[in-house]
Structure 1
């Protein structure tokens, strides 16, 4: 059933809209650069163990709130969300407590088939592109597209690259890539159109692990360059 989005709450930060019969959308400003309030809200809602809450889907500047309409109404939930936002602690906007995860990456060659062409397009050498990519301080803005796929914000704007005109039908698991103004890591083999500049031997998603995703929204990520021998060695030891 198609539901036209209707505004429930209009506050400077954020607005709240009806997404479906059983879903609301909290929408922050599109130019927001701070995802901490989004993460803090999701954490508070999960901790509250609300009987009506079915799922939360955080993104760069929004949160989808999926609920059981038999347990509560959209208006009641909207009021609850607004009240929860007002009560978030001031520390919710700080990055200091975020986890720092280091991701080993082998750049170029068979591990990053687009590194050379991407560097040429940017007017850089392949070594410069790899170094500048690894020098970045990234934040996991959201997990999406595929289970465990991290969208990382913090890419040097001068390294932004358009997606491939024709996506690959198969991108290997562990591929580290640039797509537009973002960088990310493919957790499993899948189609994809991002530029592949390297690969990590780490397993990003494992259903036997709790939580299954190695990276979570709010985590800080640093890439650590390794050579092909280091990649093979880590693969042999299955660093899952």
Structure 2
């Protein structure tokens, strides 16, 4: 019997990643992100360029590590000196918030399938200060602000109706006023220690360029696919 998964094939022909990639990852990441945003606007086949898979480490009762992943939205890319940073926001009492508090390290994967590209970012994690978190929260749509108050993220709930009742309660609480940032909600900054760029190529001979940050700055190398 034919296995449709085993027999699924795609030949990657969308681009290439040259040996003369920039000496640090920030410029290349900025270029790739802009190209992803442009593809989203122009073609519509790249639904959310800022969507990324965030992987954290949960610790079992005996201390054993257990990786966990979920999709989040990256809300900032920048540089801090020679460091590359990525910013995201979430409920700090959620599963990922608790995991980041226990093990402040994370991996982030930006998958741009329409461009046959992905970027992997691995590094340390720190909470943003209140001013930065307040500034971003104030820019969010009101519905998203109320949702942050309404949802006890990652906690069990009996029904959708109960969740909607919590939202109605939050809406009534802040009716006619600005919605403040919940004290349990805020930002995180991942400071990259390793960044890898992957460009699909024909015959599975993909291009991979990896950057590692050490005391002397970034080093770059090509990896075999």
TM exceeds 0.5? no
Query: If each structure's strand is expressed as a fraction of its own residues, which one has the higher value?
Result: 2
TM-score normalized by the length of structure 2: 0.22
TM-score, scaled relative to structure 1: 0.21
Higher relative contact order (CA 8 A, sep 6+): 2
